[in-house]
Each structure stands twice: as structure tokens, then as C-alpha cells.
Amino acid sequence: MKLPESVLVLIHSPQREVLLLERTDAPGGWQSVTGSRASADEPLRDTAVREVAEETGIAVGSPDVPAERLVDLDRRHVYEILPAWAHRYAPGVTHNTEHVFTLQVDRGTPIRLSPHEHMRFEWLPWRDAATRCFSRTNAAAILDLGNTPR
């Protein structure tokens, strides 16, 4: 069973282009990196590092992507779990808490998708990325990123 606590990692370039991934189980469903904690004692930062590596192949903490580029925004979203995904959680679990991180990488950073999770990726200007996301919390986080002074 999945834990009802997850991370959302907005991967973006210095120019605020945002990396979006298209889900294999929901064609046309675009999102940033997301994923649940593996265990209740897994630090959220470790969850974010793991999910970024699993979904994109980006190694946070490598010479090309220093660990300090992964930033915990100390922002949380609580949302109702969609009925289509409720079976992944323990009976009676209805809401998930999502913790938002950002990760700045160079636009040319190689992306290696997990084929069982995502079929395509695109880099989009932040406003376009927010519009394309199927998740309202993902879109809101991208808009916050784009509206933050540099």
C-alpha cells in the first residue's frame, strides 16, 4: 500500500523552462516528478532524490547536479485521492499530503524516462507547463515558481 504522503519535484532550467512527463497509464496526462514515500521514516528529501532518479535518470548530488540545487520549498498541498487511484492506499485513506521541491538543472541535462511510468517528456516555458498539467496542485506550484523573483 502506498503511503498518503508524497513529493512533487519541479525540475526547471535557469530560464524557468519546466520539465513535464507524460504518464503511460494516462496518455495526455502531463506532470512533474511525483512519488510517495517508501516508508514512514524515509526523509522527504530522500524521497525527492529517489523519485527524480527513477523517473528521469537525473542523479541529484552528482557533479552535474549538485545536491544544493534540490530545494524544499516548505510548501504542502493536501488533496483528495482520485477514486481511480484509491486502491493503491489503505482502506479509508482519502487524502494525500504533497511536499513541493524544486530542482534546477541545465536544459541539456540528459533525461532517461522510466518506460513503465512515462512515455515522453517536454521542456516548456513555465506558463505553458502550468497549463498542460492535469494536476491543479502541480499547476499551482509551477505558477508560484514562475512568479518568484529571480
Task: Tell whether the model's pLDDT for residue 147 goes beyond 90.
Answer: no
Give first-to-last CA distance, the chain, whole Å.
40
Q: Give the model's confidence band at 149: pLDDT under 50 very low, under 70 low, under 90 confident, else very high.
A: low
- pLDDT of residue 131 exceeding 80: yes
pTM of the shown model = 0.94
Residue 146: pLDDT band with limits 50, 70, 90: confident
- Give the domain ranges of the chain: 5-147
Interval 45-66 mean pLDDT: 97
User: What integer is the mean pLDDT of 83-88?
Assistant: 90
Query: What CA–CA distance (Å, rounded) separates 66 from 45?
Result: 14
105 pLDDT above the threshold of 80? yes
Q: 39-43, 104-108, 109-113, 144-148: which has the minimum mean pLDDT?
A: 144-148
Q: Which residue do the cell numbers 512533487 mark?
A: 8
Which of 30, 19, 23 is closest to 111 using CA atoms? 19
Average pLDDT of the segment spanning 94-111: 96
Q: The domain 5-147 is classified under which CATH number: 3.30.70.60, 2.60.40.10, 3.90.79.10, 3.90.1170.50?
A: 3.90.79.10
In this prediction, residues 46-61 reach a mean pLDDT of 98
Calpha distance 33→40 (Å, rounded): 20
Question: What is the pLDDT averaged over residues 121-145?
Answer: 96
Confidence of residue 150 (pLDDT cuts 50, 70, 90): low
pLDDT band for position 104 (50/70/90)? very high
Listed in sequence order, the residues at least 6 apart from 84 whose beta carbon sits closer than 8 Å to its beta carbon are none
Instruction: With beta carbons less than 8 A apart as the criterion, state whether 26 and 134 touch.
Output: yes
